Amino acid sequence: MRNQLLIVISLLALGGCQSIKILTTSTLEPATGDGEKTQVIPIAKSTFEGTGSQWEQLFGATNQGQWAKRCNVLLDAQTEEVPQLAAAALTAAGGVVWNLAVDAANSKIDEIQERSVKSWTATWSGNKNSIQRAQCFAVVRLSGDKVPQTQMAILFHTKVAITGKPEAPALQWAPLLVGSRTSLALTRKEGTEGTIGLSLSVAAKSFKDGEFTVRATDPVSVSGITVSSPGENVPLNSKLVGDDQYSDPLQFFSKDDNSSIYLKFAVVESGSMAGLNTKAKSELKAWTDAMGPVALDAWKKKLDKEAGN
């Protein structure tokens, strides 16, 4: 069986197809996610305060004063001067065996590709006043250690989209900065590190005339996120993202400033072993993860309807 599998791999190699690359590429093992937690943190003055501030833990070597201004957070003069620190982010008889070998190769490819796309979500609840007061939110995946460490952190900036209806405001969301240590997704090993992509979507849940409503942004993708294998002393890398990737307006309903608003952030981590159409598949997954079961059901009905035509 092993010999037949090696023959299959050799033939694939002669064909130069993507399958052989998936089967033979050295990979960077992902984090298991065991015991991990997620969190959404509105960025405020307290985020930047003290030695080893929360900001430093989330994003490492980035200028705190600069980012506080970007998030419209007013800091004391002393706090604004915090210096940058180093980053801490065959024949008939043999046909059955041959087919089994092909199946084994395909199964391995499927396994690798499945492990190369992983998602997680984080939630936040508040009201119209609090969501508009905080202009930046950090969406974080934390380790399950006794002292949790940031494994992935995405800084979102918001800007108001004018709707003309005070009871139906809208915000646009843009990722500005990513702090990263590990990924949940399997990816190609490049030296001691690897890179992944992220697809991000935000859903807002609110009440309109007593009815529960859900809206979600179209996904935004970010590439070139550096990650390492899980272990001790894993560096925290930082990646600056262009600030022109604002989402379409995300509308929610609010009768007054105290009306409840619920946000759900969906993050899809995609390794370089995920195969073709990774970006499209990851963005669709981010959108459906943010929307929840209702979106999945609606999407299934749409596909079933199209299949019947």
And the tokens for 204?
A: 């807002």
Question: How do the domains of the chain map onto residue ranges?
Answer: 37-86+116-299
Burial class for 153, CB neighbours closer than 10 Å (0-12, 13-18, 19+) = buried
Check residue 207 and give its pLDDT: 86
Helix (H, G, I), strand (E, B) or coil at 157: strand
Amino acid at 121: T
pLDDT in tens, the chain (309 residues): 444 444 333 434 433 444 445 444 567 777 877 888 999 999 999 998 888 889 999 998 567 888 999 899 988 754 433 333 222 223 333 334 434 444 444 455 566 667 788 888 999 999 888 888 889 999 999 988 888 899 999 999 999 888 888 888 999 999 999 999 999 888 888 888 899 999 899 999 998 888 888 888 888 889 899 999 888 889 999 999 876 788 889 999 988 888 889 999 999 898 876 665 555 566 666 766 777 655 555 545 544 554 555
Helix (H, G, I), strand (E, B) or coil at 248: coil
Question: What pTM was computed for the model?
Answer: 0.74
Q: What is the rounded end-to-end Cα distance, in angstroms, of the chain?
A: 44
